[in-house]
Chain A
Amino acid sequence: MDVLARNNVHVSGRGDRAMVFAHGFGCDQNMWRFVAPEFENDFKVVLFDHVGAGGSDLSAYDKAKYSTLQGYADDVVEIGRELGLKDAVFVGHSVSAMIGVLASLKAPNLFGRMVLVGPSARYIDDGDYVGGFSEKQIAELLEFLEDNHMGWSAAMAPSIMGNPDRPELGEELTNSFCRTDPEIAKAFARVTFTSDNRGDLAKVTVPTLILQCSEDIIASEEVGKFVRSRISGSEIVFLTATGHCPNLSAPAEVVSAIRAYV
């Protein structure tokens, strides 16, 4: 199985060091389009899609393998090995933050630095730990995903070329924005929102930066601070950006925060 084809890997830019961008739940590598190009002058920029998202090879989706985040982490390690990466910078958004943590534990020399954007080690509340969601709410989310995938293909074929308001999008973007197979999306949601990686944080030895948004309902400040407290030597930067996707809503802020760290 060709790893680079399986994960729709794109490599661009130039530099001795590599910077790997991992997208989060709900989208694909396109969500880095305002951030990743800013590093192409100094880094070898690596973009990819998790299996089941974007342009990845859906036939490679294996229910058992991807029933835990480790399955996704294994893919990241494989991509890194295939490209011969060492001491690379890993930038992981949302659930990919934990995927990156797991990958760094499996392949210790793979990453030299990690930037976790909106991370959460566990989404469901547990005793004193506030993850932000109840089990019931997650169950409702899974049901809700089905409601939106009924008409998914209709919404997923926008004619970008006919969008005069966004000339910078260019023609290379056809109907591939955030395209996911509905069944796989549901499974990925379940894996993401039922994950618990609190125990893995203490084992991280790679220098780590956490980028925390305000008013992020998916990964609140409390959750971000928890991650910071458990990864020794890690730093946290509070962005003024709001919401869960600062790489889209405030890319300049994200770019400068990353640049200051690497």
Chain B
Amino acid sequence: MSEFGPIDDYRELFESAPCGYLTIGSDGRITKVNATLTAWTGFEADKFVGRRLHQFLSMAGRIYYETHIAPLLRMQGFFNEFALDFETAAGERLPVIANAAERRDVDGGLLFTAVVVIKATDRRRYERQLVDSRSELQKGLASERETAELREQFIAVLGHDLRNPLAAISAGARILQRSGALQQHKELRVLDMINTTVTRMSDLIDNVLDFARGRLGGGITLSRDANRPLEPVLEQVVDELRTASPRRVIETAFEITEPVDCDRTRIGQLSSNLIGNALTHGAPDQPVRVGAKTQGGELTLWVANAGEPIPAEAMEKLFEPFFRGDVRDSRQGLGLGLHIASQIAQAHGGRIDVTSTPDETRFVFTMPLTPITSS
């Protein structure tokens, strides 16, 4: 019980409340202000009474009050949680959060408006920081997108500029072959090797650019088509590899009986990488076995070779980029083949599993026949 009487208790509550309190009369002029607000603003009560609220706000606050707060207050009778900036007597900014409510008589006539004001320096600063970092983020995203587009274009142009001269070299070899002017076995062999070397170069370019696209750009994009058959693509891949390695045996068993919704070029690339890998690392005197079938809503494609098993520590890193295992052969390439194969597998919603024993090393690619879309 305070030393004041009951009415004075309320007065005390009003004056020293932990918030600022104002009442504004029906003519829009301030009638009451509590001690807390006078303390915060540095203006005595007599400076407030008879004035309008907007006179104590920053200019921005005034405009905002006139165009947003006052109309809303008039239309719905209250306004909660709006930010205001008071200007203190010392000329400093006092950020607050305010609630306002109108009080009307039985006929609907306005009696007064009560405004409660809470200091919100920290909260407002926090919110401002959030807004600032969000707009930084958005700017960053926009420029990221721009850079990514430029990179995509660069990769496309680079690929084209690298492949064009290669195509010309192949064309040259074809012209010589067709002319029939080269008869010697050695010369014909040279022409063959020009072709296979060009193919190797072309695959390298594909892999490097895919890698660049995957790491720097938007990832491997697919253009799926369920209507075109996949087996001919696989047959062609095997043909090309047989031509490139005439002394090696590649056995195939393809049984694709259902349509596969995939990017055939990419699946061709994946198989070429897996088979190429088997040829490079498998026992040279043993066949590489390749098979594919559709079953249980999935496409399964496997490549198996004989030879030394993959060491345990290599198994973990197989699909990482630039992983080359033991450097035995300068023809091993950049170590991107398996990595890109796994990217292609992922892009199709599938995966590649590998087992390796002294009997056999086997890579198995599985993917759903139709893409699984999540709702």
- Report how far A177 CA is from B73 CA in the complex, Å: 10
- Given known A26-B67, A141-B60, A150-B130, contact A158–B76 (CB-CB < 8 A): yes
Chain A CB within 8 A of B293 CB: no
Q: Cβ of B66 and Cβ of A178 under 8 Å apart?
A: no
Q: Cβ of A248 and Cβ of B59 under 8 Å apart?
A: no
Chain A CB within 8 A of B263 CB: no
Chain A CB within 8 A of B68 CB: yes
A237 to chain B, nearest CB (A): 20
Choose the segment among B32-40, B78-86, B253-261 that binds chain A (4+ C-beta atoms closer than 8 Å).
B78-86
- Chain B residues closer than 8 Å to A26, beta-carbon distance: 64, 66-68, 71
Q: Cβ of A166 and Cβ of B68 under 8 Å apart?
A: no
- Chain B residues closer than 8 Å to A165, beta-carbon distance: 77, 102-104
Q: Which residue of B lies closest to A193 (CB)?
A: B63
- Chain B residues closer than 8 Å to A30, beta-carbon distance: 75
- Find residues 47-74 in chain B having any chain A CB closer than 8 Å to their own CB: 52, 54, 58-64, 66-68, 70-72, 74
A211 to chain B, nearest CB (A): 16
A154 to chain B, nearest CB (A): 6
Q: Cβ of B81 and Cβ of A151 under 8 Å apart?
A: yes
Q: Cβ of A177 and Cβ of B70 under 8 Å apart?
A: no
- Find residues 200-247 in chain A having any chain B CB closer than 8 Å to their own CB: 215-218, 242-245
- Report how far A48 CA is from B77 CA in the complex, Å: 23
Q: Cβ of B74 and Cβ of A144 under 8 Å apart?
A: no
A96 to chain B, nearest CB (A): 12
- Chain A residues closer than 8 Å to B52, beta-carbon distance: 215, 242
Number of interface residues of B (CB under 8 A): 37
- Report how far A227 CA is from B82 CA in the complex, Å: 33
- Report how far A137 CA is from B58 CA in the complex, Å: 9
Q: Cβ of B28 and Cβ of A244 under 8 Å apart?
A: no
Q: Cβ of A168 and Cβ of B108 under 8 Å apart?
A: yes
Q: Cβ of B85 and Cβ of A146 under 8 Å apart?
A: no
Q: Cβ of B124 and Cβ of A147 under 8 Å apart?
A: yes
A100 to chain B, nearest CB (A): 18
Q: Which residue of A lies closest to B63 (CB)?
A: A141
B109 to chain A, nearest CB (A): 12
- Chain B residues closer than 8 Å to A245, beta-carbon distance: 66-67, 70-71, 74
- Chain A residues closer than 8 Å to B71, beta-carbon distance: 26-27, 31, 178, 245, 248
B345 to chain A, nearest CB (A): 39
- Report how far A148 CA is from B104 CA in the complex, Å: 27
1/0 per position for B238-278, CB-CB distance to A under 8 A? 00000000000000000000000000000000000000000
- Report how far A129 CA is from B81 CA in the complex, Å: 37
- Chain B residues closer than 8 Å to A168, beta-carbon distance: 108
- Report how far A218 CA is from B70 CA in the complex, Å: 13
Chain A CB within 8 A of B158 CB: no
Chain B CB within 8 A of A140 CB: yes
1/0 per position for A30-45, CB-CB distance to B under 8 A? 1101000000000000
Q: Which residue of B lies closest to A164 (CB)?
A: B77
1/0 per position for A128-172, CB-CB distance to B under 8 A? 000001000100110111111011001100101001011011000
Interface residues of A (CB under 8 A from B): 24-27, 30-31, 33, 94, 133, 137, 140-141, 143-148, 150-151, 154-155, 158, 160, 163, 165-166, 168-169, 173, 177-178, 215-218, 242-245, 248-249
Apart from the given pairs A150-B127, A150-B130, A249-B70, 15 other A-B contacts in the complex at a CB distance below 8 Å? A26-B71, A140-B59, A143-B60, A144-B85, A146-B131, A148-B64, A155-B79, A158-B78, A158-B80, A166-B77, A177-B76, A178-B72, A245-B67, A245-B71, A249-B28
13 pairs of residues in contact across A and B, judged by CB atoms under 8 Å: A26-B68, A27-B67, A27-B72, A30-B75, A133-B59, A144-B60, A144-B83, A146-B131, A155-B82, A163-B78, A165-B103, A216-B66, A242-B52
Lowest 5 A-B CB distances belong to which pairs? A26-B67, A144-B60, A244-B66, A141-B60, A248-B74
